[in-house]
């Protein structure tokens, strides 16, 4: 039986975890088969992604929201795609770009079109990220020149902790889904719950 797997990646450029999880759930990816990495700064170590790749077998399907989930630049995306599709012989579904669904483009023409589109979109994804980084750098330079505070002030809990915590309390989210939505591990989520309760907060109803 072929398995469906999902991969979620969040970084300083894209923190929207829940949207990615919702899309994967629509594709019928089981919660236990969703892997999530949280990246920061220049750190691109992806332990969960590497764990996911080790699980992939011939005929399995990897579902991701967008093509840039596979890598941080044009070369990375190309390498990962070829390893999964050509070497492991698994399939890839890019939710935002149905033409890159390798299950439906097995013929020569379909494969050729997919390869061309893949190269184009990989390049576009890299260009967009570089553009965002450039705008961020320019914004930081302006802020420094004006003497403004840079970055968010320290916060004890993630910004989306309370809505996720509320869904967990109501049993709409399991521990794994909640921790994935926050981009943290289950043990870190448990620690946050204890911290929340130690501050005298009651469970949400």
Catalytic residues: 11
Report how far apart the first and last C-alpha atoms of the chain are (Å, whole number).
Answer: 41
Cβ burial, residue 47 (10 Å; 0-12/13-18/19+): exposed
Q: Coil, strand or helix: which one is 138?
A: helix
Which H/E stretch holds residue 140?
A: helix 108-145
At residue 192, φ and ψ (nearest 5 deg) are -65, -35
| Closest residue by Cα to residue 24 from 187, 1, 16, 185 | 16
């Amino acid at each position: 039986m072929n398995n469906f797997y999902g991969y979620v990646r969040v970084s300083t450029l894209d923190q929207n975890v829940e949207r990615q999880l919702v899309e994967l759930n629509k594709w019928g990816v089981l919660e236990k088969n969703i892997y999530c990495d949280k990246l920061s700064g220049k750190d691109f170590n992806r332990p969960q992604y590497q764990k996911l790749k080790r699980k992939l077998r011939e005929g399995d399907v990897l579902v991701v929201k967008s093509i840039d989930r596979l890598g941080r630049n044009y070369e990375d995306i190309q390498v990962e795609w070829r390893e999964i599709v050509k070497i492991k012989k698994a399939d890839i579904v890019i939710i935002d770009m149905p033409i890159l669904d390798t299950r439906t483009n097995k013929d020569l023409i379909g494969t050729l079109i997919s390869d061309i589109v893949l190269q184009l979109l990989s390049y576009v994804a890299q260009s967009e990220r570089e553009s965002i980084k450039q705008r961020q750098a320019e914004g930081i330079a302006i802020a420094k020149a004006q003497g403004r505070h840079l970055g968010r002030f320290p916060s004890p809990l993630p910004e989306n902790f309370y809505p996720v915590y509320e869904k967990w309390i109501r049993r709409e989210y399991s521990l794994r889904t909640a921790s994935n939505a926050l981009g943290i591990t289950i043990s870190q989520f448990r620690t946050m719950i204890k911290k929340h309760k130690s501050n005298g907060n009651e469970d949400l109803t």
